[in-house]
Amino acid sequence: MNKEYIRTPVYRMRSLVAFCVLVLSVTTCALDNGLMRTPPMGWLAWERFRCDINCKDDPKNCISENLFKDMADRLAEDGWKELGYVYVNIDDCWSSMQRDSQGRLQADPDRFPGGIQKLASYVHDRGLKLGIYADLGTHTCGGYPGTTLDKIETDANTFAEWGVDMLKLDGCYSNATEQEKGYPLMSKALNATGRPIGYSCSWPAYQGGLPPKINYTQLGEICNLWRNYGDIEDSWDSVLNIMEWFMNNQDVLQPAAGPGRWNDPDMLIIGNFGLSVDQSRAQMALWAIMAAPLFMSNDLRTLSSEARAILQNKAVISINQDPLGIQGRRLLKEKNGIEVFWRTLSQSASTLVFFSRRTDMPYRYTTTLAKLNYTEGNYKVYDVFLGQVMPTLSHMTAFTVSINPSGVVMWYISPMENEGTRPEEEGGEYPNFRRKYRVSSHQHPINFPPNFIL
């Protein structure tokens, strides 16, 4: 990997659900810090702003406390926080080129004159969380002081004292032996601080992302999320490349994910320069299928209305944040360029994504739920991006979806056999569900789970 700026098959539905739950509950243990039980969401500086430190000529976009304050303000004031986007994450190039006299990392005094602790307070005052970046090596990928093995405890304590809520630990300028020691040591050191700090590991990305070099059971015991693969770039080719690697290796990756431990295909680039509106919907849908962390890397101050609508789509977010936490799979890769993805959700629901790799024109794809391994019965369907309830389908009913080039159709599917009283009718813990979300059986005759936001 270039160190210049590197940062970091098909079963019947019920059988697969049982299999996945068994895998998640028996073979993989999560990091015991109680954090990130659903994929974390927020904003991250790297892809959009990189290592721009020229605050003299580019004060609005350079890596400085002002940039992170601006993004915190936008998350807090523009409806992002309420949807779950709560992390404001610093990436590389924030620190001074030298540690202080006590051997501690310190922020660049010109670009972060208030220091990280003051910035953390600013973020916390807005009901948000602050993430920071370090690198397990002699230097960060951008050439700033790294965290060598002897500095792990010092840096963990420093981050805790500053009030940091998440750490991404990169892996530039380290070797396999140091990574094997260092990533578990940092997990232990963070937990020992007594402060809840989510832990993102870049370890897999530096060791090819696959067994035998990568032990995903161990990763689930020490990290909340991990980068498996290379960095995303602001291009459709980059999104396709990442997605294809994840799906080609889904049999290895899917069982590793679950509440508190997530595969991370990298940032959402929606709202930048490289994706069309259809491609932006596709990234959002595919990341939701993969139960991926949703970290936007864009400029929230200048975001288009189209990009905002995609990133703030409440139904997609609810699917991504499903508490069952089972990562989805690619079911079919057709010769005509259409691919079908599926993810099981709580309350016997599921989501389907029909994705087109075609570049010519909208394609009409015809199939049945039975062909997609749904069991016998009738199903209610909600089109996530149209925001519409679709006609009820039996498992044998043929249906056709029209998929735009590089686009998706995304459905939330609920089996009618589980139709029953809602929690508020049972006197359960969601008595205000229908009132809060203005849902009625006439508007949305689907058994949405309580976490499903419309």
For residue 415, report the phi and psi dihedrals to the nearest 5 degrees: -75, 135
Co-location of 316 and 347 in the same domain: no
**Structural domains counted in the chain:** 2
> What's the chain's average pLDDT?
89
Q: Name the catalytic one among 231, 264, 266, 299.
A: 231
User: What pTM value is reported for the model?
Assistant: 0.89
**Does 234 participate in catalysis according to the annotation?**
no
CA 399, CA 380: separation in Å to the nearest integer? 13
Between the alpha carbon of residue 258 and those of residues 216, 221, 386, 400, the distances in Å are: 12, 12, 29, 33
Q: Is residue 8 part of a domain?
A: no
Residues 163-181 have pLDDT tens digits of 999 999 999 999 999 999 9
| Distance from C-alpha of 448 to C-alpha of 437, rounded to nearest angstrom | 11
Mean pLDDT score, 144-158: 98
User: Is 229 inside a domain boundary?
Assistant: yes
Lowest mean pLDDT, pick from 207-221, 269-283, 386-400, 408-422: 408-422
Residue-by-residue DSSP string for 283-297: HHHHHHHTT--EEE-
Q: Say yes or no: 290 and 351 in one domain.
A: no
Q: Cβ-count burial of 278 within 10 angstroms (0-12 exposed, 13-18 middle, 19+ buried)?
A: middle
Does residue 367 share a domain with residue 316? no
Residues 187 and 262 in one domain: yes
Verify that 379 and 335 share a domain, yes or no: yes
Question: Is the domain of 92 the same as that of 194?
Answer: yes
| pLDDT (tens digit per residue) in 31-83 | 779 999 999 999 999 999 999 999 999 999 999 999 999 999 999 999 999 99
Specify the residue for token string 């070099």.
Answer: 213
What pLDDT, on a 0 to 100 scale, did the predictor assign at position 452? 77
- Does one domain contain both 103 and 179? yes
Looking at the fold, whether 265 and 377 belong to one and the same domain comes out as no
In a domain, 18, yes or no: no
Instruction: In whole angstroms, give the CA distance from residue 287 to residue 283.
Output: 6
The answer to whether residues 373 and 410 belong to one domain is yes
Per-residue pLDDT for 16 more than 90? no
Per-residue pLDDT tens digits for 223-247: 999 999 999 999 999 999 999 999 9
Write down the pLDDT at residue 390.
96
445 or 90: which carries more pLDDT confidence? 90
Residues 313 and 370 occupy one common structural domain: no
| pLDDT band with cut points at 50, 70 and 90 for residue 24 | very low
Domain span at residue 361? Answer: 329-437
Q: Are residues 316 and 333 in the same domain?
A: no
Q: Do 230 and 372 fall into the same domain?
A: no
Decide if 392 contacts 378 (C-beta within 8 A).
yes
d(CA 276, CA 296): 16
Place of tokens 């039975």: 370
Q: Residue 87 domain-assigned?
A: yes
What CATH number has the domain bearing residue 355?
A: 2.60.40.1180
Catalytic residue among 91, 135, 155, 170: 170
Mean pLDDT of 281-292: 98
